[in-house]
Structure 1
């Protein structure tokens, strides 16, 4: 097909889809949640262009006009945006089963990843088995408790504390994002493989690939709004992602092959996540193939490292913008833990103000501001109908800043959580940074421990100041921009 013929075909298809979308919108206008009327072809994409706002902020602004349950057409994709705690409860609790699906980003529709992914697999016996495996073995309290000293060692003796201390001696600026990312990668890889990938020969390749994958996932993708463009990959995103995924698969294949060989030779169990996954490949009812294992491993490393890093960077950024809060947090640590002693996970329960700081950061800066779901069937909510296969976005960012819920919602005030029972485990719909219902993040227990231990160690060991000329801002991506490089100063004995 030559270029002219392609353009003609493309224009005809878009025109047909535009007519179909407009006709459907007119036909079901009285049933759909309210929203701006879509233009031909582009739908409501024009509403997001030219306002210099981040996506979740643009959606929050539109929700003030059209309400907490709002319909938008992004190209040929129907999207319903949820922007209040009450509507979130309808979607994630009352109609949890109807909205348990996922709209798979086009960028992840490669190598069958989405079919085996913990995050993006559709509701099925396979998905339920994997979730059960996560809860009962990979992230169970028993497993996490057995590995608490390992996490402490990686924080105390690994990339984080020792690296920052070396730089702080000469007051060299430290990129907190990079060292936190390396620490998270070290902890996760040791839990999963009993190998510290940050110390392996493939360390730089692995860290680089994971970072590149997150960049591609965040990148605006035309095929997400116009699925017919997917096979053409006009932006080259899928080609790059295929290359990155193959690199990760090669690393995982080597580790899995070595593990299987060692089991044959000495029949020794490492007792780690990989052992648990390989054990389930022997269960005929699990449908867990080696390809599925590699998809699960990608989820663990990509989601685990990026969201942990983003949360800790924003926490440090807010503390640097609010030195009185930073001082109060360090005072709590000083009163609770001897300055010569390393912070341990068992200490976190005695640090309510530190926990409140983490909650307040997650309220203002959720690592995933828009939680994606998909309607599995036509579903009625408050006299409106959400159509089958519609994308449903829970605007966690908007809910966390709702003035009807929070006093002074834009201010960073950890004290608001000190006398509150509101928690992020999916029971309080005004605060759901990890989601809620059957799609709640299965890695929540691990993330909780990693974030609190790392933050407490950073504040207990060092004083902090923002490098001259640095500013804290947000930008239009799936997760939030790194706040900058931070200069670490050791606490004097």
Structure 2
């Protein structure tokens, strides 16, 4: 297949860019991109090679597509600082008030919020403080599933898992929980799904300059409505919290930060005249949204894909069950502290993240011109590392489409981690812009998957093989909801005595 370089502004400046597929006038390579962007890029890389460049729209910067772990390491490890910037779209800029932590440029504000989140909000000490919240939520889900099992009723696990992760993150961030009388967390959950969907879609106005003032796809209407709903919700929560803080301050001077949620931590910064960084109300709203998106949807998606794979692979499920029965037994429920003693459960989570990374594309923006593999990557270029494609590459994984957790227990693969050091497996990114919530996500995934295996048999209608198609968006949930018929295992009643 003939591969050529199109004439672009970068080429005119004598930049030697990676090879490129055929393009069209004005739209460039947009015609190659379908609703499932990661799959479209995977197909292009399969056809044209693991390192290509695209021109998405008129006058856009080069977009570099990387689809192997070796190339990902070549781009990201020595150039971590240069590729520590994120893309901005019209939807992202509007919904995040132009002040979001996840999409903020690398600088003092980003460093401050990163430090606040990793050392205080998501630090080991604070995660320990919220252990009771996570334990209560997982046990409430088990209790609900037990009732469903006894009644032989179906349960929509897509909804239940999203509700669980939403409740955990909502309580950690704002001390709210969805219930019959309080639908704030329910509203937040719905907003998060809308945000992740629109953030991952291609808006023509972001790429074709003369379309910026014409809302051809209805994008502007959608993202303005999402922002309006979110702003109403957060403003109400913040006002109530400020009133609570005033009353608390009047009663108790000098209260320390023990047990503070993220909203309290951010309000402390807002009210501190000597704070290292001055933030606004919009910064608070944007940061809360960042953590909702990062901590709710992605974890629920990982849990759902994992359960679906286990249902489709009964031998894997039985092996995991045997490990739990041996290590934990049937006298108590699995706890977070059991995770280090359950290597097969850990391998199951890794295998699920390999096949189904919740965010399939690691997207960065270059700040300076760099040379990688002999190619000149201009400043302002977008870098797309296709994590989804890397996880399915037969050059790096034996039988890559097979769900086989044992691969992570074999010599040579047992040391692969998910925290950004192994470029074959980057579900949480790597370097400065890696996900700060990785420890929370892994804790939740290990204990909940183990608990669902420990307590229940999992059946689907007519014993069918589950559909494993994907939806598009920033995250990649299953195309259809996971509806199951749980049944109690013989040892389950002993757990609740």
TM-score calculated relative to the size of structure 2: 0.89
CA contact (8 A) 2:175 2:261 kept: yes
The alpha-carbon distance between structure 1 residues 46 and 166, as it changes in their structure 2 partners (threshold 3 A), is same
CA distance in 2, matches of 1:391, 1:402: 22
Mapping 1:148-227, distance limit 5 Å: 148-157=131-140, 160-198=141-179, 200-227=182-209
Secondary structure in 1 matching 2:52: strand
| 2:244 alignment counterpart | 262
CA contact (8 A) 1:114 1:120 kept: no
CA distance in 2, matches of 1:167, 1:414: 29
C-alpha distance after superposition, 1:283-308 (max 9, x if no partner): 44312222101101111112221111
Q: Which runs of 5+ in 2 are unaligned?
A: 1-5, 492-497
Give, in angstroms, the shift of residue 228 of structure 1. Answer: 4.5
| 1:480 alignment counterpart | 476
| 1:417 alignment counterpart | 408
Give, in angstroms, the shift of residue 149 of structure 1. Answer: 2.0
Give, in angstroms, the shift of residue 450 of structure 1. Answer: 1.4
C-alpha distance after superposition, 1:369-391 (max 9, x if no partner): 11111111111101101122121
329-338 or 250-259, which deviates more: 250-259
CA contact (8 A) 2:28 2:56 kept: yes
- Greater helix content: 1
Secondary structure in 2 matching 1:463: strand
Give, in angstroms, the shift of residue 279 of structure 1. Answer: 1.5
CA distance in 2, matches of 1:29, 1:37: 20
Mapping 1:74-473, distance limit 5 Å: 74-76=56-58, 77=60, 78-110=62-94, 113=96, 115-157=98-140, 160-198=141-179, 200-267=182-249, 271-281=260-270, 282=272, 283-419=274-410, 420-468=414-462, 471-473=466-468
CA contact (8 A) 2:370 2:379 kept: yes
CA contact (8 A) 2:170 2:185 kept: no
CA distance in 1, matches of 2:173, 2:446: 20
CA contact (8 A) 1:337 1:343 kept: yes
The alpha-carbon distance between structure 1 residues 32 and 488, as it changes in their structure 2 partners (threshold 3 A), is same
CA distance in 1, matches of 2:44, 2:14: 18
| 1:6 alignment counterpart | none
**Deviation >6 Å, runs of 4+:** none
Secondary structure in 2 matching 1:380: strand
Q: How many residues align?
A: 467
The alpha-carbon distance between structure 1 residues 240 and 470, as it changes in their structure 2 partners (threshold 3 A), is farther
CA distance in 2, matches of 1:457, 1:144: 20
| 1:13 alignment counterpart | none
CA distance in 1, matches of 2:322, 2:353: 22
Give, in angstroms, the shift of residue 330 of structure 1. Answer: 1.1
Give, in angstroms, the shift of residue 476 of structure 1. Answer: 5.2
| 1:15 alignment counterpart | none
TM-score calculated relative to the size of structure 1: 0.89
Does 2:3 correspond to 1:27? Answer: no
CA contact (8 A) 1:181 1:305 kept: yes
RMSD: 2.1
CA distance in 2, matches of 1:365, 1:329: 19
CA contact (8 A) 1:34 1:70 kept: yes
Give, in angstroms, the shift of residue 82 of structure 1. Answer: 0.9
Give, in angstroms, the shift of residue 74 of structure 1. Answer: 1.6
CA distance in 2, matches of 1:203, 1:95: 39
CA contact (8 A) 1:22 1:40 kept: no
The alpha-carbon distance between structure 1 residues 385 and 149, as it changes in their structure 2 partners (threshold 3 A), is same
CA contact (8 A) 1:219 1:477 kept: yes
